[in-house]
Chain A
């Protein structure tokens, strides 16, 4: 076994051999690559941009799946990092006239810094679950308030306009990726690349470690893991990925406004992962794309309809399908409804703290 002899970082990333269970994800990824490559040939620029924006949300979903789906850290304010990425990109490119790549880096740096500081203070103090979730919401609300009031930098209520499209400079040549097709390919490459990387890492030993920490943190500590450190790492990486999504979003749409720090969108992100299946990398991405496109469609008919549908969908999902949309989930949902009808009294001692005393 190669596991025996690997040491250090190679040990963390050691992979099990490719087996039959890996076929479906690999095939689906392959199909997605092909679809992404040929779609621009069949679809007009407006529809392409719409789906591309949905793909950006897919990146956001992936980042949250890493944080909540894999590592079990629930937050209510994940769009903070989306917004920081977007504003970082916007400020760097518009206010300081930097290249888009620098803009992306600026956004990523902002998000990583905030995640590192807030994460360090909370996670290393042992704050988990409810309190972590609520403080993340508070951070989001404060971020939104600051975005509105810090007019000189953020443009206040109107936000920042005229954000340049993506372009990459290489060898003195500037490749403009701003057009509909080029930006589509750029976003698709980032999304598919991120999915592949996440799948690769979560398949390895490190994925198992994250699973263990999410399942039973106390026991993981007893196995010698500095669990707070690992959770912080995942938190920062997730923030970075969300910031990349934010930068791409800002660049593709050309504007950024304080409503990017949206609790509503943060709820949608949770829903994507809840419906797509926690920890099932591809599922949340697909859910994100589908639900975003659905939202666009509904919004064109009625502006108020979406939040109600979202809230209702969320409620149904939490009550009856906590493990995501699956056939077995539906069966479990029916069982749950029946059990609720029988109204069994439950002593609500939860099992999240499995300490030994």
Chain B
């Protein structure tokens, strides 16, 4: 077993009596690519929140590179390489696209006393070079998604958490994203939660299925797709065929 970058055991979080995440064990290695799928309310976003430090775990332990991170604040997670790309968009709306990237990269670089990634190169990578001087609030939704991804890259992640990355992207953009994720895999681990099963299929990686706060299946996408019980979880009883 190669040394895992992130190790979580028994991660749990309840919101007022509802177990959003119930005892999840997770271990992610340095170059892993992992997809988490599941119906609405399965706990996927909560899990990402737990892994990025945005939400405190009610029970269980979380370690990054051997360092105990349970209960530590969100910025500590980011500084150690767990970077989250938010669902929807959450950017600095009053600042330009390029400034968004600069701000995203500066904190981590200063903390590690290492150079910041080149913002112009990242702009190139996410295809926003033409909009460098635009205000983030002027960008359409799809381009703001790319800005989010660019900001995540600027944070020099060791583990990139993608929260529904394909949402709102056109089919062409989604394929571009798949390519980008495969390229990113050379530098960091990636965990994506997604609803778009076509996207997950294109990624062709290890896939976990969450249901009611627990991980019920782990396997390759092909295995998951053929599983009767998974279809039932997604479509409810009495469903005949999961078409995708």
Contact = CB atoms under 8 A, between A and B. Distances in A.
Q: When A and B assemble into the complex, do they touch directly, with CB atoms less than 8 Å apart?
A: yes
A215 B91 CA distance: 9
A11 B90 contact: no
B75 A11 contact: no
B95 A224 contact: no
B203 interface: no
Interface residues of B, number: 41
Given A222-B52, A224-B75, A354-B90, A8 B120 contact: no
A5 B118 CA distance: 9
Contacts of B88: 356
Contacts of A215: 92-95
Interface in A215-248: 215-216, 218-227
B144 to A, nearest CB: 13
A341 interface: no
Given A4-B116, A224-B155, A356-B49, A219 B107 contact: no
B119 A3 contact: yes
B115 A224 contact: no
A357 B115 contact: no
B150 to A, nearest CB: 12
Interface string A311-334: 000000000000000000000000
Contact of A223 (B78, B118, B120): B78
Contacts of B84: 222
Contacts of A196: none
Contacts of B75: 221-227
B113 interface: yes
A224 B90 contact: no
Nearest to A218: B90
Interface stretch (B97-105, B169-177, B204-212): B97-105
Interface string B149-171: 00100010000000100000000
Contacts of B120: 1
Contact of B107 (A7, A211, A216, A224): A224
Q: How large, as a class, is the contact surface on chain A?
A: 20 to 34
Given A11-B116, A225-B75, A216 B92 contact: yes
A219 B155 contact: no
A223 B81 CA distance: 10
Contact of B92 (A6, A212, A224, A357): A212
A209 B118 CA distance: 17
A12 interface: yes
B107 A356 contact: no
Contact of A3 (B93, B102, B108): B102
Contacts of A8: 110, 113
B45 interface: yes
A221 B73 contact: yes
Nearest to A351: B93
A280 interface: no
Nearest to B151: A223
Given A3-B116, A6-B115, A356-B90, A225 B107 contact: yes
A254 B15 CA distance: 61
Contacts of B59: none
A222 B86 contact: yes
Contact of B95 (A12, A208, A226, A355): A208
A12 B104 contact: no
Interface in B118-139: 118-120
A357 B110 contact: no
Given A220-B103, A356-B54, 15 more contacts: A205-B106, A211-B99, A216-B92, A219-B86, A219-B90, A221-B75, A222-B52, A222-B54, A222-B75, A222-B78, A223-B103, A223-B155, A224-B111, A225-B107, A356-B86
7 contacts: A1-B118, A7-B113, A208-B95, A212-B92, A219-B90, A221-B78, A222-B90
Interface of A: 1, 3-8, 11-12, 205, 208-209, 211-212, 215-216, 218-227, 354-357
